[in-house]
Amino acid sequence: LKRKKISVIGAGFTGATAAFLAAQKELGDVVLVDIPQAENPTKGKALDMWEAAPVQGFDSHVRGTSNYEDTADSDLVIITAGVARKPGMSRDDLVQINQKVMKSVASEISKYSPNSIILVLTNPVDAMSYTVFKETGFPKNRVIGQSGVLDTARFCAFVAEELNISVKDIKGFVLGGHGDTMVPLTRYSYAGGIPLETLIPSERLEEIVQRTRVGGGEIVNLLGNGSAYYAPAAALVEMAEAIIKDQKRVLPSIAYLEGEYGYEGIYLGVPTLLGANGIEKIFELELTNDEKAALDQSAEAVRSVMGVLE
Ligand code: APR
């Protein structure tokens, strides 16, 4: 049996962190890829990680490259390539720049790893997932965006701190888009099976939800230069592990919808079953009127970003 192969495209903060976590978990051999101008730093990061292997005792090999031939026959590809929004750049500019990056990355992946499953992190993640889906022509179960695992993790981290209960016992649940347009389902959120709504007063719970919504911005403000990467990388690797180990996890994914929840032809955050075939199922839940209205807003936001795609 061959060891699994994971390519991480974009060797920046998130990509490098995800690569290291994936290697530490021995999910497979890891190929870290960046643009030719960044080839040496990419090789350096990968070599540095590989030199940690004897200390940490992982057998996953890590190498850096700017040549997509080295990614050939990857089982899983994680895309973190792109640019972050800089002062003076409009949101639409960002969409178009990252769309070009997604197009070039997608064509290389479909050329060298036509059977791979792709996880997309690059923002705006719903529109970027859609771009990769269209460019690769891969089936929808094999092009998956990340945002809900991160949003849920943030929510659970805040709740664990609030209640002084282990993070292991906190389960959160979100639908919809990333950040502002996230739709938290607090009625499906628990501490050790006990509904959170019975443990935290509703006003306080709403404050925690609001902090989660702007969780990305909180990190941006604190870092002063750049955006979150430890928790985003951890979220990617949790999804990667579910797929590589065929764990059949129920995790939120940005998935291509064809009628689910009443939406057609867009990528949106929904609960999914993740296993060896990528998204193996989309769970459809009964929503309250308020939740449905919030999800509609989320879908509208996605459509408005998609309107900027070229
Ligand atoms: N091919 C490969 N790599 C690319 C390409 C490309 N065409 N274009 C840019 N990159 C690389 C950059 O050289 C850089 O190393 O992508 C990397 C991005 O890394 P960072 O700038 O450190 O950004 P990071 O914080 O990791 O965020 C990456 O994830 O959370 C999202 O919004 C965030 O879209 C952003 C992405």
Sheet holding 190-191, edge to edge: 170-171, 190-191, 194-195
Q: What is the per-residue pLDDT across 120-148, written as a single tens digit (0 to 9) for each?
A: 999 999 999 999 999 999 999 999 999 99
Tell me the mean pLDDT in the region 270-297.
96
Residue 225 pLDDT level (bands cut at 50, 70, 90): confident
- Residue of minimum CA distance from atom 4 in ligand 1: 81
- Is the CB of 17 within 6 Å of ligand 1? no
Residue 52 pLDDT level (bands cut at 50, 70, 90): very high
Q: Which residues have C-beta within 8 Å of that of residue 206, sequence separation ≥ 6?
A: none
**Residue 136 CA to ligand 1 centre (angstroms):** 19
Tell me the mean pLDDT in the region 241-251.
98
Q: What is the interface pTM, i.e. ipTM, of the complex? A: 0.98
Dihedral of CA atoms 52, 57, 60, 63 in degrees, nearest 10, equals: 20
- Residue of minimum CA distance from atom 20 in ligand 1: 12
Give bridge partners of residue 176 from the DSSP assignment. 182
Question: What are the residue numbers of the active site?
Answer: 178
The alpha carbons of the chain give a radius of gyration, in whole angstroms, of 19
Residue 180 pLDDT level (bands cut at 50, 70, 90): confident
Atom of ligand 1 at shortest range from CA of 81 = 16
- Is the CB of 10 within 6 Å of ligand 1? yes
- Residue of minimum CA distance from atom 25 in ligand 1: 13
Strands 264-275 and 249-258: antiparallel
- Is the CB of 129 within 6 Å of ligand 1? no
**Residue 75 CA to ligand 1 centre (angstroms):** 21
- Is the CB of 66 within 6 Å of ligand 1? no
Are 83 and 101 in contact by the 8 Å Cβ rule? The answer is yes
Give bridge partners of residue 271 from the DSSP assignment. 252
Q: What is the pLDDT of residue 11?
A: 98
Q: Dig out the tokens for 160 from the structure.
A: 């664990």
Tell me the mean pLDDT in the region 180-192.
92
| pTM for this entry | 0.97
Distance separating alpha carbons of residues 145 and 130, to the nearest angstrom: 9
Q: What is the pLDDT of residue 85?
A: 76
